[in-house]
Amino acid sequence: MDDQNQHIRDILAKYEAGTITEEELSLIDNWYAPFEANPDLIDSLSAEERTFRKKQLQEKILGQLTADTSALAVTSKKRFFLTPGKRLLQAAASLILICAVSFYLINNQYKKPPATVGAHNNTINPATDRAVLTRSNGEEILLDESKNGELFTEGNVHINKLKPGNLVYTTDNKVDKVYSNTLSTPRGGRYQLTLADGTRVWLNAQSSITYPSAFHGHSREVKISGEVYFEVAHNSTMPFRVRSENQTIEVLGTHFNVNTYHTGSDAKTTLLTGSIALTNRHHRVVLKPGEQGIVAGPSLSVKKVDPAEVIAWKEGYFDFTDNDILTVIEELGRWYNVDIDYAGVPTKETFTGRIPRSWPFEKVLNLLKTFKSIQVEMQGRRLIVETK
């Protein structure tokens, strides 16, 4: 059993040091989740049962570790987590290594009471596959309410919803007439899109893209707002252009992310592979992989970034790196469809950390409540944040 304890301690130590991988972080989150949801169960156990549950839990965790070891991704980059997460670490370590309550106890021996009919559900869930498709004739289609399969055709173009969260345009013939469509996600929504040329697009919450039903002529052009990730299909004879407020991106075939959430402020374009030209009214730069172009009014600057952090949203994570509290809560508000009220002078404290976007908002709220510089309170779907 000592070897088992050491295996668990090693992963917890990596969490503390900030060198843990995403998969290992997910394991810790899974270990801790049952205890967080059932804080009173531990006190109800006898000493003998605690010893038994400790052994049972260790064996269960070890089994999960053994099954997942081959799949764990090794990374040399350090990950630093939000300070409040250390409290979760301490609680998880204490519960796991001292006695705790196993998944078996919670999932199999304690049955949840049936929900009361008519009970009010205050749970705030993460973003789901929700979007509105607006056709050229003004018709709006709520995609989350539409059945899978072909939605309609425009000329020789077929518009299909292959599965929830995935809209695909296809055409086999030459297209002489094209139609303008707009795909938009609300707060608390996300969606994927495949354009007629094969370009793949991911829309974050509260984002939009306007595009032709098919491309013809000498270029391919779309217009976006919010945050959008592109994997552009290569076509050297038809450059791909992305327009947003105050900037244009030109590319032949590449992967990149565009963040224009702050209207009238910075627009950030991050290149992952290939090469793109970024222009505004006064400047033009060619980005290389790992570079981010920042358009702020008339200026255009370039800096080195970690692309993995920029596209963490696409992979299912919030990734905050020295972000101020306003940036943090604005992103949370978009994802969970929560209105934000900030009272007082914004704190200068910055936050760094990565947390799963699959977390229920209540769990994120509990993290926010541990920050020393602010106090938070929920009123319905409104988050009240005040500087202490």
pLDDT tens track, the chain, 388 positions:
455 556 666 776 666 555 667 666 666 666 655 544 444 444 445 555 555 555 555 555 555 444 444 333 333 333 334 434 444 444 444 444 433 333 333 333 333 333 333 334 468 999 999 999 999 999 999 999 999 999 999 888 999 999 999 999 999 777 878 999 999 999 999 999 999 999 999 999 999 999 999 998 889 999 999 999 999 999 989 999 999 988 999 998 899 999 999 755 689 999 999 999 999 888 999 999 999 999 988 899 999 999 999 999 999 999 998 888 888 999 999 999 999 999 888 888 788 889 999 999 999 999 888 888 899 999 999 999 999 8
Helix (H, G, I), strand (E, B) or coil at 42: helix
**What pLDDT does 213 receive?**
95
Of 387, 386, 306, 388, nearest to 354 by C-alpha is 306
Model pLDDT, residue 70: 37
What local confidence, expressed as pLDDT, does residue 203 receive? Answer: 98
Report pTM. Answer: 0.70
**Of residues 208, 198, 140, the one with CA closest to residue 169:** 198
The tokens of 41 are what?
């169960």
The pLDDT of residue 177: 86
Write the CB contacts of 214 (distance below 8 Å, at least 6 apart in sequence): 155, 156, 157, 169, 171, 175, 178, 196, 197
**Distance in angstroms between the alpha carbons of the first and the last residue of the chain:** 46
CA 291 to each of CA 87, 199, 268, 274, 323: distance values in angstroms, whole numbers, following the listed order: 35, 22, 10, 11, 19
Return the ∠ at Cα 319 (arms to 142 and 387), rounded to 5°.
95
Phi, psi dihedrals of residue 202, rounded to the nearest 5°: -115, 130
What confidence score (pLDDT) does residue 344 get? 85
Domains of the chain: 2-109 (no CATH), 128-310 (2.60.120.1440), 316-387 (3.55.50.30)
State residue 343's pLDDT score. 87
Residue 199: per-residue pLDDT: 97
Q: For residues 310 and 250, give the distance between their C-alpha atoms in angstroms, rounded to a whole number.
A: 20
Which segments within 54-197 are labelled E, that is strand? 128-129, 132-134, 140-142, 149-154, 157-163, 166-170, 180-184, 189-194
Burial of residue 149, with CB atoms counted within 10 A of its CB: 0-12 exposed, 13-18 middle, 19 or more buried: exposed
- Rounded CA-CA distance 383/339 in Å is 6
Helical ranges in the chain per DSSP H: 2-17, 22-37, 47-68, 85-97, 103-104, 307-310, 312-315, 325-336, 361-368
For residues 82 and 367, is the Cβ–Cβ distance under 8 A? yes
Question: Nearest 5°: CA angle at 139, between 135 and 141?
Answer: 85
The structure tokens listed for 221 are 């052009």
* Token reading at 180: 């303008």
Name the β-bridge partners of 189. 128
d(CA 258, CA 269): 4
